[in-house]
Structure 1
């Protein structure tokens, strides 16, 4: 019996030892698996960046104008262009001719405020009448400036299938007086793929929509492609939603722009609700970069991801969508002044649509410089200016000098410039004189600030000033007009709200 009990104890101790060895073995296996996952994760991150880098296409910065608004320490501006180019498989989604030239189907300027908690996207209708500055052609030459051209014509300068993003950027800078920090072009494929990557986007329709509403050349109305009310769309259906124009609402491009704004707002809401996690963001980034063309400043995955993450704290309610103040001019769209001037002035000063100062911090971590006060009366006290007539219009320098004197500026000379084919008025300023030059620029609507190495401030008058009525220029209104701010759409709005846009 004793031997039997001892044998049983020995067997029990042996079994326990085997169990401990198995547990230690399982523990070592689990640890090894965890280490392996970490190693694979690190390798995967490198693979992801390599893949994203391979996806990204850039356009040449050679076509960006040398006559640009000054860089700002307040906020940042990104031009987003939706291209209807049919290259690279886009014809399967958008139809049309594969050899057709690239056109900009939609465009908006996204201003991210320095506090990185507010943003506003300003849509520019494609039929807007604008001045297109000189743009670079594929053969290396530059075009002559165009006056009163349609806005989307800038993207088609050079008539290449891939379009001309730099020319559109030049045009936006001339129109707004804001420096565009980055430009992003998204084509049909990229747009459709992004909506699929997030699992679809919620939209809302005020009525049933049929095939003929998308293609008015159809002999019959065809099948119903959208039902009235809220629904989730992705891929081709999402693309149809943002492109549809005829047979819904008033059939105008303005109505379509409002639908597009509602769609982008809903897309942002979906991304936010999914959470900014790698499992959610990487498929989205992969889809976006495959059909995206960017300026060289965003030409690598780390730059693009870093830029995207810089906007992660922007609140949906503080993300606004508006259209530049406009009116019909025949079949085209004209910009309304001074309403538009007030909007651009607010963005330059980093003021929100409701007048808040959102310049809480600034790019590169530098201290914020005081705004020259674009909404205050122009005071030239203590500022000396040389005036030169860069046109063939006689007496222009004397006229400008009198206007400047009326604002309190001191005129050091009023003469004719050596070059007399100046299109746009330039305010040239020496080191440390940017704020004073900004005051001078406000007297000449549309003037450009240009730094030079020599001290002093010179107003080189262009044809734009010659065409102005002979009266002192008025500063833009102190606040963004109510019809702009009150009609703004927030990214957290219900997609079924304000269905009149449909």
Structure 2
């Protein structure tokens, strides 16, 4: 995990850009769709059968089932599918020169979930900023040891599981982390090594990019002028990975640049469909950089996926980013990370878990007037009769950024946790309630003024607050 920090900005100035829905990575999904379709065309004739088989054998397989454990979310909508897509940020091989020497393990530079509903009439891609500050669960490190649960950037999960250099462990830890924080059951995964982009770009005789400002980065080995220019594979690889020294230095900015690059790559690939040599070079690089679970390991299952996406109207293919804001809004000294915005993040995950369509417009409307965790003033009352429960919950809430103003005992024990609040604090109560599924949340004239009150019941599980 990189320890570098971006330039300090006020939370209000940053949250607007980070908290909004973005159309990200559409080019990646469509590029794979076009590419796989081309593979099938190549293999349709007898002369192309060996090419088809060659490309099919390029795709690596990694079984993660024995590394995930038994405590996993259920698929609440049989027939729907969630695919975790990881862009590998390893420093091995062709990647070695693009970044600092402090990274010695695989990293997930890109992390998203593709949700395909049971009716196949719409789809959603949810992107997770790599700077998301989350709890990483205990993971198999591949050396016979388990990592300890701890807070970190979400992309560290890939590095922890991949400590031994195996994609299976890296993917498994990422899956466990995403499942723990979203409640979504991950059915398949695809890991794409960014080094594959280099060969794809070179096979297409370069890709045109149009940076708005000059880019000079020792880490990314870049010295690019502003304006449109055609770049080769080596420059392209640095361009899609560079972060610091470009724009605001954020991961969100890099996401937009990667999406623009992939759109340009997709257009160029379509132009080259009539050139067998160029097309074969693109597909060789693309398939060699791909690792999937056994069920997805092959041209046929990937083509089936591409075919399903192809049939979905573009206006019903939603590209979303988990609602988020700079963590410095809750912890002023943290200039490097983001936290997810609740209850909006929960609303996205709940909708997809229940196979309900979530559109860009819906999410954009929901993230207006963000409420930070630190803006929620909470008093915690113990309704369990077990000494110390209010203090334990208060500690967890403070660690999550909430402003806990006091603890105490409830007038009587309760069977279930409950939240009460005075009129005017509906949004603050909703932020807190989203972290306690099942807890009743009620406006009350008797609620403490200016506070959201949480009465802790025996149903509340501390581990769910991580």
Q: Where on the TM-score scale, by shorter chain, does this alignment land: which range?
A: 0.5 to 0.7
Q: What does residue 81 of structure 1 align with?
A: 86
1:352-391 aligned at under 5 Å gives the runs: 352-354=358-360
Please, which of 121, 127, 145 is the counterpart of residue 131 of structure 2?
127
Q: What does residue 258 of structure 1 align with?
A: 256
Could you list the per-position Cα deviations for residues 107-164 of structure 1 after superposition, in whole angstroms to 9, with x for gaps in the alignment? 2222334554544332222221112223122134443433x22211111215233451
**Residue aligned with 1:183, SS:** strand
Could you list the per-position Cα deviations for residues 331-368 of structure 1 after superposition, in whole angstroms to 9, with x for gaps in the alignment? 22111111211222333333131579xxxxxxxxxxxx
Note the C-alpha offset of 1:91: 4.0
Q: What does residue 422 of structure 2 align with?
A: none
Please, which of 351, 356, 376 is the counterpart of residue 350 of structure 1?
356
Over 3 Å counting, the alpha-carbon distance change for 1:193 and 1:77 in structure 2 is farther
Q: What does residue 178 of structure 2 align with?
A: 172
Note the C-alpha offset of 1:307: 2.3
1:83-482 aligned at under 5 Å gives the runs: 83-87=88-92, 89-91=93-95, 94=98, 100-114=104-118, 116=120, 118-146=122-150, 148-158=151-161, 159-162=163-166, 164-197=170-203, 200-212=206-218, 214=220, 224-225=223-224, 227-268=225-266, 283-316=281-314, 318-329=316-327, 330-331=334-335, 332-348=337-353, 349-354=355-360, 399=414, 401=416, 403=418, 442-443=437-438, 461-464=460-463
Aligned-partner Cα distance in 2 for 1:243–1:161: 21
**Residue aligned with 2:306, SS:** helix
Aligned-partner Cα distance in 2 for 1:326–1:75: 26
Note the C-alpha offset of 1:402: 6.0
Q: What does residue 378 of structure 2 align with?
A: none
TM-score for the superposition, normalised by structure 2 = 0.61
Over 3 Å counting, the alpha-carbon distance change for 1:65 and 1:242 in structure 2 is farther
Q: What does residue 452 of structure 1 align with?
A: none
Q: Which sections of structure 2, spanning at least 5 residues, go unmatched?
A: 1-41, 328-333, 363-383, 394-412, 420-435, 441-457
Over 3 Å counting, the alpha-carbon distance change for 1:48 and 1:346 in structure 2 is same
**Residue aligned with 1:110, SS:** strand
Does structure 2 conserve the Cα–Cα contact (< 8 Å) formed by 1:105 and 1:126?
Answer: yes
Pair 1:68-2:63 in alignment: no
Does structure 1 conserve the Cα–Cα contact (< 8 Å) formed by 2:43 and 2:52?
Answer: no
Over 3 Å counting, the alpha-carbon distance change for 1:144 and 1:260 in structure 2 is same
Pair 1:55-2:61 in alignment: no
Could you list the per-position Cα deviations for residues 48-99 of structure 1 after superposition, in whole angstroms to 9, with x for gaps in the alignment? 3431243122223121242222223364322221222233x32465366699
Does structure 1 conserve the Cα–Cα contact (< 8 Å) formed by 2:140 and 2:146?
Answer: yes
Could you list the per-position Cα deviations for residues 190-232 of structure 1 after superposition, in whole angstroms to 9, with x for gaps in the alignment? 12223445555454321122345845xxxxxxx842x333444
Could you list the per-position Cα deviations for residues 10-53 of structure 1 after superposition, in whole angstroms to 9, with x for gaps in the alignment? xxxxxxxxxxxxxxxxxxxxxxxxxxxx99933632x2343124
Aligned-partner Cα distance in 2 for 1:101–1:66: 27
Does structure 1 conserve the Cα–Cα contact (< 8 Å) formed by 2:80 and 2:118?
Answer: yes
**Residue aligned with 1:401, SS:** coil
Query: Number of matched residues?
Result: 337
Over 3 Å counting, the alpha-carbon distance change for 1:272 and 1:444 in structure 2 is farther
Does structure 1 conserve the Cα–Cα contact (< 8 Å) formed by 2:59 and 2:287?
Answer: yes
**Residue aligned with 2:45, SS:** helix
> Which of 1 and 2 has greater Rg?
1
Over 3 Å counting, the alpha-carbon distance change for 1:39 and 1:313 in structure 2 is closer
Note the C-alpha offset of 1:301: 3.0
Q: CA RMSD in A?
A: 4.0
**Residue aligned with 1:293, SS:** strand
**Residue aligned with 1:101, SS:** coil
TM-score for the superposition, normalised by structure 1 = 0.57
Does structure 2 conserve the Cα–Cα contact (< 8 Å) formed by 1:102 and 1:155?
Answer: yes
Does structure 2 conserve the Cα–Cα contact (< 8 Å) formed by 1:76 and 1:181?
Answer: yes
Does structure 2 conserve the Cα–Cα contact (< 8 Å) formed by 1:213 and 1:247?
Answer: no
Over 3 Å counting, the alpha-carbon distance change for 1:111 and 1:232 in structure 2 is farther
Segment of structure 1 superposing worse, 162-171 or 265-274: 265-274
Aligned-partner Cα distance in 2 for 1:278–1:116: 32
Does structure 1 conserve the Cα–Cα contact (< 8 Å) formed by 2:417 and 2:459?
Answer: no
Note the C-alpha offset of 1:316: 4.6
Aligned-partner Cα distance in 1 for 2:186–2:285: 25
Aligned-partner Cα distance in 1 for 2:99–2:226: 25
